Structure 1
Amino acid sequence: MRLHRNLVFAVIDTLKAVFNENKYADKEIAKALKRDKRWGSRDRSFIAETTYDIVRWKRLYAEIAEVKEPFSRPNLFRLFAVWATLRGIELPDWKQLEDTPTRRIKGRFDELSQTRKFRESIPDWLDELAVKELGEEKWTKEIAALNLQAPVVLRTNTLKNNKKELRDSLFKENIETHTIKGYKDALELNERANVFSTEIFKKGAFEVQDASSQLVADFLEVEPGMRVVDTCAGAGGKSLHLAALMENKGQIIALDIYENKLKELKRRARRAGAHNIDTRTIENTKVVKKLYDTADRVLIDAPCSGLGVLSRNPDAKWKLQPEFLEKIRKTQAEILDRYSKILKDDGKMVYATCSILPSENQKQVEAFLQREAGKDFRLLNQKIVLAHESGYDGFYMALLEKSK
Structure 2
Amino acid sequence: MRLHRNLCYAVIDGLLLIFNEGQYADKVIQSLLKRDKRWGSRDRSFVAETTYDIVRWKRLYAEIADVKEPFDRDNLWRMFAVWATLKGIKLPDWKYFQNTPTRKIKGRFDELSKIRKYRESIPDWMDQLGLQELGEELWTKEIAKQNEQADVILRVNTLKTTKEKLQNLLFDDGIETEFIKGYDSALKLKERANVFVTKAFKDGLFEVQDASSQLVADFLDVKPGMKVVDTCAGAGGKTLHMASLMDNKGQIIAMDIYESKLKKLKVRARRNGVHNFDMRVIDSTKPIKKLYKKADRVLIDAPCSGLGVLRRNPDAKWKLEPEFIDKIRGTQEDVLQQYSSMVKPGGKLVYATCSILPSENQNQVAKFLKSETGQDFKFIKDQKIFAHESGYDGFYMALMERTK
Normalised by the size of structure 1, how large is the TM-score? 0.99
Instruction: Measure the CA separation in 1 of the matches of 2:30 and 2:395.
Output: 26
**Partner amino acid, structure 2, of 1:93:** D
Matches of residues 381-396 of structure 1 in structure 2 within 5 Å?
381-396=381-396
Please give the secondary structure, in 1, of the residue aligned with 2:211: coil
Provide the residue aligned with 2:173 in structure 1.
173
Please give the secondary structure, in 2, of the residue aligned with 1:375: helix
Provide the residue aligned with 1:289 in structure 2.
289
Matches of residues 234-249 of structure 1 in structure 2 within 5 Å?
234-249=234-249
Cα offset, 1:292, TM superposition: 1.2
Matches of residues 255-266 of structure 1 in structure 2 within 5 Å?
255-266=255-266
Provide the residue aligned with 1:348 in structure 2.
348
Instruction: Measure the CA separation in 2 of the matches of 1:235 and 1:125.
Output: 31
Please give the secondary structure, in 1, of the residue aligned with 2:274: coil
Cα offset, 1:276, TM superposition: 0.5
Provide the residue aligned with 2:52 in structure 1.
52
Please give the secondary structure, in 2, of the residue aligned with 1:14: helix
Provide the residue aligned with 1:400 in structure 2.
400
Provide the residue aligned with 1:306 in structure 2.
306
For residues 255-289 of structure 1, give each alpha carbon's deviation from its aligned partner in whole angstroms, at most 9, with x where no partner exists: 01111110100000000001101111112221221
Please give the secondary structure, in 1, of the residue aligned with 2:308: helix
Please give the secondary structure, in 2, of the residue aligned with 1:229: strand
Please give the secondary structure, in 1, of the residue aligned with 2:253: strand
Provide the residue aligned with 1:104 in structure 2.
104
Provide the residue aligned with 1:64 in structure 2.
64
Q: Which runs of 5+ in 1 are unaligned?
A: none
Cα offset, 1:247, TM superposition: 0.3
Instruction: Measure the CA separation in 2 of the matches of 1:283 and 1:128.
Output: 37
Instruction: Measure the CA separation in 2 of the matches of 1:37 and 1:282.
Output: 42
Matched, 1:158 2:153: no
**Partner amino acid, structure 2, of 1:120:** E
Please give the secondary structure, in 2, of the residue aligned with 1:88: coil
Provide the residue aligned with 2:332 in structure 1.
332
Please give the secondary structure, in 2, of the residue aligned with 1:99: coil
Provide the residue aligned with 2:186 in structure 1.
186
**Partner amino acid, structure 2, of 1:197:** V
Instruction: Measure the CA separation in 2 of the matches of 1:257 and 1:41.
Output: 38
Provide the residue aligned with 1:376 in structure 2.
376
Matches of residues 5-154 of structure 1 in structure 2 within 5 Å?
5-154=5-154
Instruction: Measure the CA separation in 1 of the matches of 2:109 and 2:155.
Output: 39
Provide the residue aligned with 1:362 in structure 2.
362
Instruction: Measure the CA separation in 2 of the matches of 1:162 and 1:225.
Output: 22
Please give the secondary structure, in 2, of the residue aligned with 1:89: coil
Instruction: Measure the CA separation in 2 of the matches of 1:38 and 1:342.
Output: 53
For residues 340-393 of structure 1, give each alpha carbon's deviation from its aligned partner in whole angstroms, at most 9, with x where no partner exists: 001101100100000000000000000000111111101101000000000000
Instruction: Measure the CA separation in 2 of the matches of 1:321 and 1:134.
Output: 19
Matches of residues 219-230 of structure 1 in structure 2 within 5 Å?
219-230=219-230
**Partner amino acid, structure 2, of 1:99:** N
Matches of residues 260-279 of structure 1 in structure 2 within 5 Å?
260-279=260-279
Please give the secondary structure, in 2, of the residue aligned with 1:182: coil
Instruction: Measure the CA separation in 2 of the matches of 1:163 and 1:247.
Output: 16
Cα offset, 1:298, TM superposition: 0.1
**Partner amino acid, structure 1, of 2:237:** G
Instruction: Measure the CA separation in 1 of the matches of 2:7 and 2:136.
Output: 40
Please give the secondary structure, in 1, of the residue aligned with 2:348: strand
Cα offset, 1:40, TM superposition: 1.0
**Partner amino acid, structure 2, of 1:207:** E
Please give the secondary structure, in 2, of the residue aligned with 1:212: helix
Please give the secondary structure, in 1, of the residue aligned with 2:397: strand
Instruction: Measure the CA separation in 2 of the matches of 1:94 and 1:347.
Output: 66
Instruction: Measure the CA separation in 1 of the matches of 2:376 and 2:292.
Output: 15
Q: Which runs of 5+ in 2 are unaligned?
A: none
Please give the secondary structure, in 2, of the residue aligned with 1:155: strand
Matched, 1:213 2:213: yes
Instruction: Measure the CA separation in 2 of the matches of 1:317 and 1:212.
Output: 20
Instruction: Measure the CA separation in 1 of the matches of 2:210 and 2:146.
Output: 13
